[in-house]
Amino acid sequence: MSEARTPAQIEADIVRRREELARTLDEIGVRVHPKTIMGDAKAKAASAVDRTAGRAYVAANRAVSDVRAKLVHEDGSPRLERIVPIALIAVAVVGLYATSRRRRD
């Protein structure tokens, strides 16, 4: 059988439980406060934006590196055999665009 508790022990247990309950209620009050909820939502949104921006930067950096590898030799000199055709196509497209704009005006 368990030992009988004294009134002082019971009272101390009640006081301790009351203090624990008060702390728990305070924590709940802070968690459900609108400012806390908004702060958490802002932090989550900022984190998501940071992750998305980081992924976009990595993807863009990878794309630039891939294009650079195709247009420049390892020593840094340009690969004219690849650059000249691209430049010619770009000039042709701009020329066609300019010609079509003149015809409309």
pLDDT in tens, 27-66: 999 999 999 999 999 999 999 999 999 999 999 999 999 9
| ∠ CA 58-59-63, rounded to 5° | 115
pLDDT in tens, 14-27: 999 999 999 999 99
Q: Is the pLDDT of residue 2 over 70?
A: no
Q: Is the pLDDT of residue 1 over 60?
A: no
- 87, 80 Cβ separation under 8 angstroms: no
The residues near 19 (Cβ < 8 Å, ≥ 6 apart) are none
Phi and psi at 78, nearest 5°, equal: -70, 145
Give the sign of the dihedral formed by CA 18, CA 21, CA 26, CA 29.
negative
pLDDT at 60: 96
- 79, 73 Cβ separation under 8 angstroms: yes
d(CA 86, CA 79): 11
